[in-house]
Amino acid sequence: MTTLPNTEQVWEALARIPDPEIPVINVVEMGIVRDVQIEGPRAIISMTPTFSGCPALHLIREQLEETTRSLGFAEVVVKTILSPPWSTDWITPEAKERLRQYGIAPPKPTAGQEGVLIQLEAALTRCPRCGSFNTSVKNTFGPTLCKAIHVCNDCKEPFESFKTV
């Protein structure tokens, strides 16, 4: 009888799955994988979808299932947890830094973001290239619902920002 991996090893395996839209970040760092439970030959993975409008959620689900199954589990259950809703606060600080290096302005902390602050959000988005706050929004929808397109008024380069939710 083969020995099945423990939860820690399952977490490690899942951390090798890149986010389909942002390949520099894995699905664990994104905060998508919430819980791993092992009950005998059965593994139960709990996930929280990110932006409801983002494509590739079913792809993430499939990859979670396939990866866990490949570790030797006879049965893999992927549960979707909708409450509490996913927050960009769940993205690890290391991953946010990698986003910035990748050229995407990382999401800002959600705490205290109300009313006028939301309106100021565009002005406060920092250029990931030169660090300038002198940026404007070009298109709030961007290539996907998760990202917005901005342009830096200092280095004149367009860049994407990860929406804060």
By CB under 5 A, name the binding residues for Zn ion: 127, 129-130, 132, 152, 154-155
* Of residues 96 and 100, the one with the C-beta less far from Zn ion: 100
Q: Are β-strands 75-80 and 42-47 bridged in parallel, bridged antiparallel, or unpaired? A: parallel
* Of residues 33 and 152, the one with the C-beta less far from Zn ion: 152
Supply the minimum distance, in Å, between the C-beta of residue 96 and Zn ion. 18
Supply the minimum distance, in Å, between the C-beta of residue 135 and Zn ion. 7
Supply the minimum distance, in Å, between the C-beta of residue 124 and Zn ion. 14
* Of residues 33 and 127, the one with the C-beta less far from Zn ion: 127
CA 40 distance to own-chain centroid: 30
> Residue 37's beta-bridge partner residues?
44
> Residue 47's beta-bridge partner residues?
33, 80
b/e map 45-82, b = 16+ CB within 10 Å: bbbbbbbeebeebeebbebbbebbeeeebeebebeeee
Supply the minimum distance, in Å, between the C-beta of residue 75 and Zn ion. 50
* Of residues 76 and 99, the one with the C-beta less far from Zn ion: 99
